[in-house]
Structure 1
Amino acid sequence: MDAKLLEILVCPVCKGPLVYDKAAQELICKADRLAFPIKDGIAVMLESDARELAADEDVAG
């Protein structure tokens, strides 16, 4: 994920910062506990496509 692009992207729900999870290929919003997938190098920033993080799932970053 391009670092400059990551600086620009924000959570579409709360407009908060995102954390890049390279292993899972996801952008994570800690505030909303949502993980937005990255498919074929493109971040899918739709709330309907995001997965909710489990209560015990650790958010790195």
Structure 2
Amino acid sequence: MTSNDAREGTPGLEPWLRDILRCPVTGAVLVDGIGPDGSPELHSTDPESPLAYPVRDGIPVLLADDARPLAR
């Protein structure tokens, strides 16, 4: 992942992998997002309990304990 990728919120994952990743808590689709500090994240599209997962060194960390809630 380049610094440009981090600014745009793009984790740099292969398209086939992006298509199969899901929120481990709700099963919702994950979309690119940007965290409060400008770092890339994956955001759950679940309308009831949206969560954000960090992307560290280009690797999504899909652990419930590392997720943070998103405002609805």
Q: Which has the larger radius of gyration?
A: 2
Q: Which runs of 5+ in 2 are unaligned?
A: 1-11
In the alignment of these two chains, the number of paired residues is 55
TM-score by length of 2: 0.65
Q: What value does the CA root-mean-square deviation take over the aligned residues?
A: 1.7
Structure having the higher helix fraction is: 2
CA offsets 1:1-58 (integer angstroms, 9 cap, x no match): 2222110100001111111126641110021210000000110000110111134xxx
Q: Sequence identity, in percent?
A: 42
Alignment of 1:16-27 (within 5 A): 16-21=28-33, 24-27=39-42
Letter in 2 for 1:27: L
Instruction: Spell out structure 1 runs of 4+ moving beyond 6 A.
Output: none
- Partners of 1:36 and 1:5 lie apart in 2 by 16
Q: Which runs of 5+ in 1 are unaligned?
A: 56-61
TM-score by length of 1: 0.75
